[in-house]
Amino acid sequence: MAAAEGLRVLAVDDAPLAIEELCRLLRQAPEVAEVVAADDPISALKSIQAEHFDAVFLDISMPGLDGIELASLLSRLNDPPVIVFVTAYDRHAVTAYGIGAVDYLLKPVRAERLAMALTKVKRMALAEVVAEQSADPPDALAVVPVEAAGRTRYVRREDVRFVEANGDYVRLHTPAAAHLVRMPISRLEEYWSPTGFVRVHRGFLVSLRAVRELRSDARGGLLAHTDLGDVPVSRRHARELRERLLRATQDSEADTGRRA
C-alpha cells in the first residue's frame, strides 16, 4: 500500500461535472498522490481488479450496478480499498457504514469536509501498512482502529477479553463495549496468537489472561469463563487451551518466584 508516500485514489461518478469537480478537489489534497477517474461502476471494478488503489470515492446513484452494490463487491477482495461514499442523498448512510465505509460525503463536497475524510482514509491505510510490514508480530495491531458512524475509536488489544467472528467482521468484546471491525478472524488470530490469544472455536478467540476457569455446559461441552461471559470451546481446541492455560500459570508463578 502506498499510503506512506501519498494515497492512490479512484473516483467513481457517472455525472461528468461531478466527477470533474471531485477529481479536482482530490488532486489539490496534499494526502493524495494520484487520482484515477471512472465514469461507471463496471469500469471502476475493472480498474480495481487490474491495479491497486488505497481508496475509492464512490457515488451511489448510478445506472446498472449502483455504488452500494459495488462497495459490497469490493469488501470481498483480499485487499479491499477504503470506501468513501459521495452522494447527494443522506438516506443511504446507515447502509454505507454497515458495509464498512469510513465516511459519507454529501454533494456539493466542501474541501474541508473532504480533508476530514482523507484523514480517516490515511489513518486506515497506515494501520494496514503497519500490520503488514511489522517485523515484530507481538506488536502488530496492538491498537485496532474502529470506524463507526463517522467516528474513529481505538481499542487496545489488552482490553479485549475475547473475539467473536461475525461474517466478514469480528466483534471485539471489552468491558466498555463490543466493537465491530471489518477483518477476518483468521487474520486477527495470526497477529494476536503470539500475545496470548487462543483459537478455541471456529468462531472465537479468547485471551488467556481473561479466562477465569473452565466450565461444562448442560450438554457436556466446554466453556471458557471470562468476566464478560462464557466462550464456547470446541473439542478439537480443548486440549490446546488446557495446555496453554497450564503453561501460562506456570510462567506466571515462575515470574513471581523470581521477583520474590
Q: pLDDT tens digits for 161-174?
A: 999 999 889 999 99
User: DSSP assignment, residue 118?
Assistant: H
**Is the predicted pLDDT of residue 237 greater than 90, yes or no?**
yes
Residue 142 domain-assigned (yes or no): no
3-class SS of residue 64: coil
- The CATH number given to whatever domain includes residue 239 is 2.40.50.1020
- How many domains is the chain built from? 2
Residue 110 domain-assigned (yes or no): yes
pTM for this prediction: 0.50
* pLDDT value of residue 137: 47
Give per-residue burial for 149-186: e unless 16+ CB within 10 Å, then b. eeeeeebebeebbbbbbeeebbebbbeeeebbbbbebe
Q: Is residue 55 packed enough to be buried (19+ CB in 10 Å), middle (13-18) or exposed (0-12)? A: buried
Q: Which residues are 231's β-sheet partners?
A: 224
User: DSSP assignment, residue 218?
Assistant: T
Calculate the CA dihedral of residues 93, 95, 100, 103 and round it to 10 degrees: -10
The reply to whether 20 and 125 lie within a common domain is yes
Cα 61–Cα 21–Cα 151 angle in degrees, nearest 5: 65
The reply to whether 108 and 162 lie within a common domain is no
Q: What mean pLDDT do residues 187-205 have? A: 92
Residue 143 domain-assigned (yes or no): no
**Is the predicted pLDDT of residue 143 greater than 90, yes or no?**
no
Side-chain half-sphere exposure of 246, counting CA atoms within 13 A: 6
The reply to whether 13 and 120 lie within a common domain is yes
* pLDDT value of residue 224: 96
Residue with the bigger pLDDT between 259 and 115: it is 115
The reply to whether 13 and 118 lie within a common domain is yes
**Is the predicted pLDDT of residue 114 greater than 90, yes or no?**
yes
Residue 138 domain-assigned (yes or no): no
pLDDT in tens, 61-97: 887 778 888 888 887 777 789 999 988 877 666 665 6
Q: At 38, which helix (H) or strand (E)? A: strand 32-38
- The CATH number given to whatever domain includes residue 122 is 3.40.50.2300
Q: Which range has the worst mean pLDDT, 68-77, 126-135, 148-157?
A: 126-135
**Is the predicted pLDDT of residue 141 greater than 50, yes or no?**
yes
Q: At 25, which helix (H) or strand (E)? A: helix 16-28
* pLDDT value of residue 129: 56
Q: Are 204 and 221 in contact (CB under 8 A)?
A: no
Percent above pLDDT 70 for the chain: 85
Q: Choose one of 98, 133, 168: the last residue of a domain.
A: 133
* pLDDT value of residue 138: 46
Q: What mean pLDDT do residues 39-48 have? A: 90
The reply to whether 198 and 253 lie within a common domain is yes
The reply to whether 109 and 65 lie within a common domain is yes
The reply to whether 194 and 234 lie within a common domain is yes
Q: What mean pLDDT do residues 122-141 have? A: 60
The radius of gyration of the chain from alpha carbons, rounded to an integer in Å, stands at 22
CA-wise closest residue to 39 among 55, 16, 57, 23: 16
Q: Which range has the worst mean pLDDT, 118-127, 138-147, 240-249?
A: 138-147
Residue 139 domain-assigned (yes or no): no
The reply to whether 171 and 112 lie within a common domain is no
For the chain, the average pLDDT equals 85
Q: Are 141 and 170 in contact (CB under 8 A)?
A: no
Q: Choose one of 133, 168, 196: the last residue of a domain.
A: 133
Percent above pLDDT 90 for the chain: 47
The reply to whether 108 and 188 lie within a common domain is no
* pLDDT value of residue 213: 95
The reply to whether 68 and 167 lie within a common domain is no
The reply to whether 125 and 168 lie within a common domain is no
The reply to whether 109 and 184 lie within a common domain is no
Domain extent, residue 74, equals: 3-133
* pLDDT value of residue 7: 92
Q: Choose one of 70, 105, 133: the last residue of a domain.
A: 133
Q: Report d(CA 68, CA 12) in Å as an integer.
A: 12
Query: Is residue 122 very low, low, confident or very high in pLDDT (cuts 50, 70, 90)?
Result: confident
Q: Report d(CA 60, CA 82) in Å as an integer.
A: 15
* pLDDT value of residue 1: 44
* pLDDT value of residue 25: 96
